[in-house]
Amino acid sequence: MTIQNRAKASKTASIQLAALDAETKNKALEAIALKFEARKAEIIAANREDCARSEAEKLDAPLLKRLRFEDEKLSEVIEGIRSLIKLPEPVGQTRLATQLDNGLDLYRVTCPIGVIGVIFESRPDALVQISSLCLKSGNCVLLKGGSEAASTNRILAEIISEATVAAGIPDGWIQLIETRADVNEMLKLSDDIDLLIPRGSNDFVKYIMDNSSIPVLGHADGVCHIYLHEDADAAKALPILVDAKTQYVAACNTMETLLVHESVAAQQLPEIKAALEAKNVELVGCAKTREVLQIGEATEKDWRTEYVDYKLSIKVVSSLEEAIVHINTYGSGHTDAILTEDEAAAKTFMALVDSANVFWNCSTRFSDGFRYGFGAEVGISTSKIHARGPVGLDGLMIYKYKLIGHGQTVGEFSSGKLSYTHAPLDRDCPL
Scan residues 191-220 and list those touching its own copies (CB under 8 A): 194-195, 206, 209-210, 213, 215-217
Provide the residue type at 181 as one letter.
A
Closest CA to 136 of 168, 91, 176, 94: 91
State whether the Cα torsion 111-117-120-123 is positive or negative.
positive
CB of 199 to its own copies, least distance (A): 17
By CB under 8 A, the count of residues binding its own copies is 81
Nearer to its own copies, 41 or 385 (CB): 385
299 DSSP assignment:
P
x-or-dash string of contact with its own copies, 317-346, rule CB under 8 A: -------x---x--------------x--x
CB of 335 to its own copies, least distance (A): 9
CB of 402 to its own copies, least distance (A): 5
Measure the CA dihedral 199/382/233/284, to 10°: 60
**Near its own copies by CB under 8 A, which window of 148-156, 168-176, 242-250, 299-307?**
242-250
72 binds its own copies per the rule CB under 8 A: no
x-or-dash string of contact with its own copies, 385-404, rule CB under 8 A: xx-xxx-------xxxxxxx
301 binds its own copies per the rule CB under 8 A: no
Measure the CA dihedral 184/186/189/190, to 10°: -90
d(CA 107, CA 93): 10
Provide the residue type at 272 as one letter.
I
Measure the CA dihedral 255/257/260/266, to 10°: 100
CB of 262 to its own copies, least distance (A): 23
190 binds its own copies per the rule CB under 8 A: yes
Q: Which three-class secondary structure state does DSSP give residue 183?
A: helix
d(CA 39, CA 75): 13
40 binds its own copies per the rule CB under 8 A: no
What residues from 97 to 136 belong to the interface with its own copies (CB under 8 A)? 98, 100, 104, 106, 113-114
x-or-dash string of contact with its own copies, 246-275, rule CB under 8 A: -xx---------------------------
Provide the residue type at 197 as one letter.
I
Nearer to its own copies, 101 or 148 (CB): 101
Provide the residue type at 29 as one letter.
L
Nearer to its own copies, 257 or 355 (CB): 355
Nearer to its own copies, 39 or 388 (CB): 388
358 binds its own copies per the rule CB under 8 A: yes
What residues from 403 to 422 belong to the interface with its own copies (CB under 8 A)? 403-411, 413-414, 420, 422
d(CA 80, CA 91): 20
Tell me if 261 sits within 8 A of 290, measured CB to CB: no
d(CA 412, CA 383): 43
357 binds its own copies per the rule CB under 8 A: yes
